[in-house]
Amino acid sequence: MDRFSYGKTFLVGFGFFGISIIWPLFNSLIPPMLEDLGLSAVVVGFIMTWDNIINMFVQPYVGSLSDRTHTRFGRRKPWMMAGAPLAALFFILVPFVREQFVLIALMILGTNVGMALFRAPTIAYLGDLFRPEDRSKANGVINLMGGVASAIALFAGGALYKLGVPLPFIIGSGVMLVAILIVLIWVKEPKVGAEESTKQDQPGLLENLRQVTSGPDKSGLLLLGAILFWFVGWNAMEAFFTIYARNVLGIDVGSGTQMLTAFAGTFIIFAIPSGLIATRFGRKPVILTGLVGMFLGLVVGFFILNPTVLLVTLAIMGVFWSLVNINSLPMVYDLGSERSIGAYTGLYYFSSSAAAITGPILGGWTMDLAGHSAIWLFSALFIALAAIVMSRIRPRASHTT
C-alpha cells in the first residue's frame, strides 16, 4: 500500500459521500409520510428497519463475495455500478406514491435493496487502500465527506421539502450518482489476480464469523456487541427525531430535519481530529470517551424543550459521536486479515443492521407506551450498555487498537 495521501483519501470519500446523501433524507422525510398514512409509531419503526433486515443478509454476503469478485473493473466497482442506479431510481419514486401504502412500501424496499448491494464494497476501500496505522486518519477524512453530505442533505433537504416534496428525493439521488461516478472513474483498486480471488484462497463469511466468535479472546465478539448497542440507541433517535420535534417541540418536519444539521456539522468538524486522536491515544479509550459524552447528551436532551438549547446540545453530541463512529470500523479491521476486508466490513454492517432493526421498533414501542420524549432515555440506555461492553474489551498490543 502507498503512503497516506489526503488527496487519494478525499477521492475515496466520495463513495461514502454518495451513501450519506441518501440516508439522512430517507430517515428524516419518510417517517412523517408513513405517519400521515395513519400508521402507529411502532409500525413506522418496523418499516424503517426494512433496510437493516435486508442489510443483515445482503451486506455480509456481498462484502464477502466482493473479496472474491474478479472483473476488469475490479472487485468492488461492479457492485457499485449495479446498486447505485437501482437505489436512485426507487428513491426518486417514493414521494410520488406517498399516499398509497403498497406503492410507497415497494419503493422503500427497492431503495433498500439497491443501497445494500454496494455499501459494503464501497466502504471496504478503507481496508483495501490504507495501511492499518493509517485507517483511523483515513476514516476521519471519509467520514468528514459523509458528514458534509449529511449536513447538505439535512439542511438543503429540509429547504427543498418546503418548496416541493419530491425535490430532495430527486436532487439527492442525482448527487449520489455523481459521487459514485467520481469513485468509479478516479479511484484505482489494488490489482488482485483471479487466483487470489477464489473461494479457496479466502475464507468466506461464516469462517470469518467463526474466527471472531471462537477462541479465548472474546474482544471481537464484544466489539460487535458494543456496535450493536450504540446503533440501537442512535438509530432509534434518528428515526423518530422529526416526529418528536413535531409533536413535542411544535416545529414542522422541515425545521426538525434542519435541527439535526448541528449534530452533523460538529461531526464534520471533528471527523479528522477524531482519527488523529485515536492514532495517538488508542481506539478503545477514544470510543469510550465518545460513548460517555453521548450518554450525557441524551439524558440532558430529555429535559430540554427549547429548540435553540436543544440545537446546542445536538452540536455537542456530534463531537462525541465522531469519536465513536470514526474509529469503530478500523477497530473491526484489526480483527482480521488483509484478504478478508470485505467480509469484515460485512460483519460490521451485520452488527449495525441488527441493531437498527431492533432500535426503531423498540424505540417506537417505547414512545407508544411512554410518550414521544421517552425516546431520549431509550437511546441513553443503549449507549450506556455499549460503553459497559466496550470497557470489557482487552486492549491490543498496537496503540491504534
For the chain, 401 residues long, the average pLDDT of each consecutive 10-residue run is: 82 93 89 88 84 82 82 88 96 93 94 92 88 88 86 85 91 96 90 52 59 64 90 88 87 78 84 90 93 96 90 94 92 71 78 83 89 93 96 62 42
> What's the length of the chain?
401
Q: How far is CA 356 from CA 45, 50, 83, 343, in A?
A: 10, 9, 21, 20
396 in a structural domain: no
Residue 373 inside a domain? The answer is yes
Quick check: 148 and 90 in contact, CB under 8 A?
A: no
pLDDT at 212: 63
The domain that holds 287 is classified in CATH as: 1.20.1250.20
Is 67 contained in some domain? yes
Q: How far apart are CA 231 and CA 357, in angstroms?
A: 10
Within-domain flag for 398: no
How many domains does one find in the chain?
1
What does the pLDDT read at residue 41? 80
Whether residue 258 is contained in a domain is answered as yes
Q: Is residue 397, in this structure, part of any structural domain at all?
A: no
Report whether 175 contacts 295 (CB < 8 A). no
Domain housing 33: 6-187+194-391
Residues facing residue 74 across a β-bridge: 71
